[in-house]
Amino acid sequence: MDTATKVYVAFSSAELFSSTQTYLLNYPEGRVLSNEEILGEIRRRCSEIQFVGTPEVKTAGQAAVEIEDQIDSLDGLLYFGSLSTELLQTGLPTVAVYPLWGQWQEAFHAYKGSRVLVATLPVIPDTSEAMFSSRLDAIADKLKLVDAVTRLKRLKILLITDKPVLGEYAPYPWQTAQEGREEYERAYLENLAALGGEIVVRSQQEMVSQLQAVPDAAAGEVAARWIAGAEGMKGTNEAQVRESAKLYLAMKEMLDKYNANAITTEGYGVFMYHDGGLIPSQGLPSSMLCTEGVIATSETLVDSLITQQLGLWITGSAGFNGDYIVDVENNKAYIGHCESSLNPYGDECRVPYVIRNLPQWPIDEQEIGGACVQVRLPEDEPVTVVKVSVHDKKMAMFSGQTVNGEQLFPGWDEILCRTKVAINVDAKQLFEHLDWWAFDVHRVVFYGDHRQTFADLAKVLGYELVVEDGSLQICGS
């Protein structure tokens, strides 16, 4: 099956227009790009996208007719020129490019309220090669957002719970209080289906049976690898790491069995009190799967999973999903959980980690319950914090700088979640924008300044963007 994202491309003009046609006469050493050259540069930067269309000039009406003839097979539109009403009505996520010096800018605008991203590309290349290359890169990056949203159509989520459809942890009672859980889940699944995503629900007992079938030797090999890569262990032991390794292998087996490409389980207290007996922590398994490029979110947090999945496709990293706290007086935000990918920048570099037990166990019951992980995430680094709400069709976002938690609170590593980040933020703004009803109590941290990228992603999704700290004035929102 052909799974490449298909983008229709059309040009409304070629090279120079009347008022600039004397350019080469008076400046013969100049260069004017043809549509073929422009499309070639875009193709080179977007090899994963299949472009449908030709470099020949077409009117907006001609392009609209061609799009209509193949609308069911198209995922996006790349248009050089001002968008007509007909093109906007196709409903395709669109990258509209103004061909500077190729036509006047009249009628080209930000297309607010639509699924349109805008860019400018001069047909006379900039004097600075770096500037011109960055323009092409920006167009490619916007097209890659179209590709990411298209890939949601192929996202199959394996959700392990005994409380279908969405699980025990989320949605939270306050999220369903107004419409009831049944109606909330109906609306949620309808919105998820509109994105193309699919959920397959399986019971916890099936996962436990799969775990029990894992050979000890196979689990031992995985556990030995994890232990060898760690800085150390605290509050757990090799036997418990092997139990979580069995869960990891069971999760992988079920992903293959159901042809799923992401997974979310229950966890924490739900695992602790499972009727069939204690289920070992998914902290280590989820961390390792996310590091391997498979989103594995705990606590059946599907919104977090969608956020992480989009982030993985866009930034290369699964990010760090965790519970979210705003400390207004200290001007900080804290995010913590008991798992995290080990490659926060999405590259080959791995950050240090310590294998721990879950913090829920009382003092006299330490070395039980499998193993989770304390990841030493980088400090003094910019981060972009994001959360998608599928039910409300919204995206929340803020940014900040990570800081040393130990300088804020003694024994930082022993407070609540094993893995945590403290972030310098405009906490008053964050607190005023808190929306537990749409975004629940979790956020996803991505290292780097990705504010404009996620703002653009919200447009492509057709979701309302909530900039929780007011840190970005969005063009075309």
Convert the pLDDT of each residue in 157-212 to its tens digit.
999 999 999 999 999 999 999 999 999 999 999 999 999 999 999 999 999 999 99
pLDDT at 20: 85
According to the model, what pLDDT value does residue 19 have? Answer: 79
Q: Measured between alpha carbons, how far is 233 from 254 in angstroms, rounded to an integer?
A: 28
Q: Is the predicted pLDDT of residue 1 greater than 60, yes or no?
A: no
Position 360 pLDDT exceeds 70: yes
Q: Residue 11, Cβ neighbours under 10 Å: how many? A: 24
Per-residue pLDDT, 409: 98
Mean pLDDT of 278-286: 94
- For the segment 428-434, the average pLDDT, to the nearest whole number, is 96
- Structure token digits, residue 173: 């009672």
pLDDT of residue 275: 87
Average pLDDT over residues 326-338: 98
What is the mean pLDDT of the segment spanning 393-410?
A: 98
pLDDT digits (tens, 9 = 90+) for 75-108: 999 999 999 999 999 999 999 999 999 999 999 9
pLDDT for 468 equals 94
pLDDT of residue 166: 97
Question: Which residue matches tokens 């004035």?
Answer: 473
Burial class (CB in 10 A: 0-12, 13-18, 19+), 434: middle
* Predicted confidence (pLDDT) at residue 412 exceeds the cutoff of 80: yes
Backbone angles phi, psi at 107, to 5 degrees: 80, -10
Backbone phi, then psi, for 277, in 5-degree steps?
Answer: 110, 160
> Residue 180: how many CB atoms within 10 A of its CB?
10
Q: Report residue 461 as tokens.
A: 């999704």
* pLDDT, position 474: 52
What is the average pLDDT across 123-148?
A: 98
pLDDT tops 80 at residue 147: yes
- Rounded to whole angstroms, how far apart are CA atoms 339 and 328? 26
Q: Which of 10-14, 20-24, 62-66, 437-441 has the lowest mean pLDDT?
A: 20-24
For residue 179, what are its two tokens? 């419409």
Residue 233: what pLDDT?
Answer: 95
Residues 6 or more apart whose Cβ sits within 8 Å of residue 149 = 93, 195, 310, 457, 460, 461
Instruction: Specify the pLDDT at position 475.
Output: 45
Interhelix angle 302-315/129-151, nearest 10 degrees: 150
Residues 350, 18: Cα–Cα separation, whole Å: 56
Look up residue 164 and give its amino acid.
P
Count the residues in the chain: 477
Please give the pLDDT value at position 364: 61
- Longest CA span, the chain: 87
Please write down the long-range contacts of 50-55, taking CB distance under 8 Å and 24 or more positions apart: 50/2, 50/4, 50/5, 50/6, 50/7, 51/6, 51/7, 51/8, 51/9, 51/78, 52/6, 52/7, 52/8, 52/9, 53/8, 53/9, 53/10, 55/11, 55/14
State CA 300 to chain mean position distance.
16
Burial of 341 (0-12, 13-18, 19+ CB in 10 A): buried
What pLDDT is stored for residue 477 in this prediction? 45
Contacts of 279 (CB under 8 A, 6+ apart): 204, 207, 208, 211, 247, 266, 271, 272, 370
pLDDT for 391 equals 98
Which residues, 6+ apart, have CB-to-CB distance to 438 below 8 Å?
389, 391, 392, 394, 396, 466
CB atoms within 10 A of CB 440: 22
pTM confidence score: 0.95
Residue 40 has what pLDDT? Answer: 97
| 304-331 mean pLDDT | 98
